[in-house]
Amino acid sequence: MKEIILCKYGEIVLKGANRSCFEAQLTKELRRRASHFGVFRIHHAQSTIYIEPQNEQADIDGMFESARDVFGIVGVTRAAVAEKDIDDICRVAREYLPTALSGVRTFRVDAKRSDKSFPLGSPEIAATVGGAILSCVRGIKVDLHNPEAMIRVEVRENGAYVHAAQARGAGGLPRGSAGRGLLLLSGGIDSPVAGYMMAKRGLEIEAVHFESFPYTSERAREKVFTLGQLLCRFTSRLHIHVISLTHVQEELSRKCDEDYFTLLLRIFMMRLSQRCAAQYGCGALVTGESLGQVASQTLDAIAVTDSQAGIPVFRPCIGMDKEEIVTVARKIGTFDTSILPFEDCCTVFTPRHPKTKPVLEKVLAELAKVDAEALLEEAWQSMYTETRVIYDDYR
């Protein structure tokens, strides 16, 4: 019996004249992933992408799990293929579904007849297939209102498909369909979540990480690289541009009012990030800030740092509390790494009484106490890049 994977679109169906561009990016991503699981034929029709194994060596289990992590897909299901003939559809249902219905007490059949030339309507298809299931699965009953299992039969232009369960897809928009953004990736909980959330909206993500070696350790750096690798489950690849702020922090600590230290450091981060974004074609910065969570994330503090960014700053976590952010971190698999007890540069030289209602003019007056341009250039020259990928050919 032939089995295929059906991937259902999400909001791509609403894209009108631009829909073909989104479909092309989505199909390209699935083809790249499929190449690691064997030979598959991938094509789209009627708001569905069909992934068809071309030989017995194709790893349909692996491809199914990978497809679930592709942004732009809201549902993924494995389906058995039948001829567009009601007798063959019933035969396939009797052979394919008993295993899936093992231990299930109630079911319902929904039918969709996209091919209007098929002689039976959707209600007749559902009733006939339901009868076939009742004849081969012992102890099961039909429940149209609250079934334990939903069986679906789809009669489309290319064939008929029978399946028992649809897994939730990643949702959102295809990778790169909304441009490119630069994620300020720390070792904490929030920034990986922010990267995931903007990638889900179609941004292709680059990342910049600021370190303060030897105040921050090599284990802290590796923690960030691990977070990048975990994000690749959804982004496919991630270039992490690492910049040292050691001398910047030493100079700020030595020459500036301690209360302004965090704000001044954020200004350096924003200016360096803007330069990094320009070099790598990113149209926006992405941060994990949540309003009021720490002193540098008050409304006044955010206004100061935004004044130095030069390009849009996306903060997808801005209205979330910590519990909500942690929930997403657990969902995407980054939480356990994020809470490892290794320091990052934002915890070095932390002031005792940071400014929560700063005035830009006073912040810039403190900044004038150091040679900001020289420090920025020195930090920029320290930059190197690490690449993390889900598969080797995504470099």
Tens of pLDDT, residue by residue over 2-35, are: 999 999 998 998 888 889 999 999 999 999 999 9
Q: Note the pLDDT tens digit of each residue in 140-154.
A: 999 999 999 999 999
Q: Check pLDDT > 80 for residue 385.
A: yes
Q: How far apart are CA 174 and CA 394, in angstroms?
A: 16
pLDDT tops 70 at residue 61: yes
**Residue type, position 266, single letter:** R
DSSP string, 1-35: --EEEEEEESGGGG-GGGHHHHHHHHHHHHHHHHT
2 neighbors 41 (Cβ within 8 angstroms): no
Q: In the prediction, which pLDDT does 185 show?
A: 97
218-222, 286-290, 315-319: the lowest-pLDDT one: 218-222
Res. 277: pLDDT tops 70? yes
The fraction of the chain above a pLDDT of 70, given in percent, is 97
CATH topology of domain 3-168: VC0802-like (3.30.2130)
Residue 330 reports pLDDT greater than 70:
yes
Mean pLDDT, residues 295-322 taken together: 93
* The pLDDT value given to residue 16: 85
The tens digit of pLDDT for each residue in 338-347 reads: 999 877 766 6
Among 263, 302, 284, CA closest to 183 = 284
First to last CA, the chain: 37
**Band of pLDDT at residue 395, cut at 50, 70 and 90:** very low
CB 68 within 8 A of CB 84: no
Mean pLDDT, the chain, whole residue set: 93
Mean pLDDT of 159-169: 93
Residue intervals in the chain for CATH 3.30.2130.30: 3-168
| Full-model pTM | 0.91
Average the pLDDT over 127-136 and give the result. 96
Assign domain 180-394 to its CATH superfamily: HUPs (3.40.50.620)
Read off the pLDDT of residues 198-250 as tens digits, 9 standing for 90 and up: 999 999 999 999 999 988 889 999 999 999 999 999 999 999 999 999 999 99
pLDDT at residue 369 above 50?
yes
Q: Is 185 helix (H, G, I), strand (E, B) or coil?
A: coil
Looking at residue 288, its amino acid is G
Every domain of the chain with CATH number 3.40.50.620 lies at 180-394
Q: How many residues does the chain have?
A: 395
What average pLDDT does this structure show over 303-331? 95
Secondary structure (3-state) at 105: coil
% the chain with pLDDT above 90: 85
pLDDT of 349 > 90? The answer is: no
Q: Is 299 left (phi over 0), alpha (psi -120 to 50) or beta?
A: alpha
Would the pLDDT of 394 be above 90?
Answer: no
Nearest CA to 139 among 165, 172, 101, 110? Answer: 101
- Using the predicted structure, report yes or no on whether residue 348 has a pLDDT greater than 70: no
- Is 60 exceeded by the pLDDT of residue 393? no
- Average of pLDDT values for 85-112? 95
